[in-house]
Amino acid sequence: MDSARIYENCQNRLLDLAANLDGTQLGTVVPACPDWTVQQVYAHLAGLSADVVSGQVTPPAGDEVTGRQVADRAHLGIGEISAQWRESAPALLEIMRTESRRRYSLPALDVWHHENDIRGALGLGAQTEDADQLADFPLGGLAKGWPAELPSVRVVATDTGQEWNLGEGAALTLSGTAHELARAVTGRRSLAQILALDWTGGDPAPVAPFLPTLPAAESDLEV
């Protein structure tokens, strides 16, 4: 995954968006992150960048750490938060370009999904750039570690032609756009939404809970 490029592009779009948000928009609760407002998501993104650069955090970051990142910036305005994020990002991008460990791609997944989380909260359309890579990263991991006792799943991205085989054979087939698959397997769809995706070959109920690599969303998400 071209993690540094994906991260930089997402950051640039998000910073441009932040500069044009009013107080009501910044205070909007983000359904994908129900304890956070739009501004608090920005605070987390700025905090994660700073923490990785300083060596305080090796990705991924748990809830306690992300909560601290937000709390530490509760007194700041969006301009100050954006400035902090902009300042630390070049060093983070250099780490992402030079580190070979898979975990250093996680900030790219984090910012890509949070960009869509924010866009969903504000009633904006999905940002689908690089969805092929954002789908491949978690689905490739699932393919390597799919529990042998579960039915196998062939996953097909209908817009990119990508395929992933979870387990031996293809007892079930799951089809969807790369964006939808990326969101579904990274905790941005509810279990009901996952079950309602385009499944063929049998009942997906036994495997659906094992698809999200982060906990499934508690409520349905649109973007």
pLDDT in tens, 58-73: 999 999 999 999 999 9
Fold of 131-210: Nonspecific Lipid-transfer Protein; Chain A (3.30.1050)
Residue indicated by tokens 């007892």: 171
Domain coordinates of the chain in residue numbers?
A: 3-121, 131-210
> Residue 169 has what pLDDT?
85
Structural contact between residues 164 and 139, judged by C-beta atoms closer than 8 angstroms: yes
- From first to last of its 223 residues, the chain has per-residue pLDDT tens of 999 999 999 999 999 999 999 999 999 999 999 889 999 999 999 999 999 999 999 999 999 999 999 999 999 999 999 999 999 999 999 999 999 899 999 999 999 999 999 999 999 999 999 999 999 999 999 999 999 999 999 999 999 999 999 999 888 999 999 999 999 999 999 999 999 999 999 999 999 999 999 999 999 999 9
pTM of the model: 0.95
Neighbours of 154 (CB within 10 A): 18
| CATH code given to domain 3-121 | 1.20.120.450
Q: How far is CA 156 from CA 138, 163, 187, 208, in A?
A: 14, 5, 19, 15
Q: Looking at residue 185, what is its pLDDT?
A: 98
Amino acid letter for position 63: D
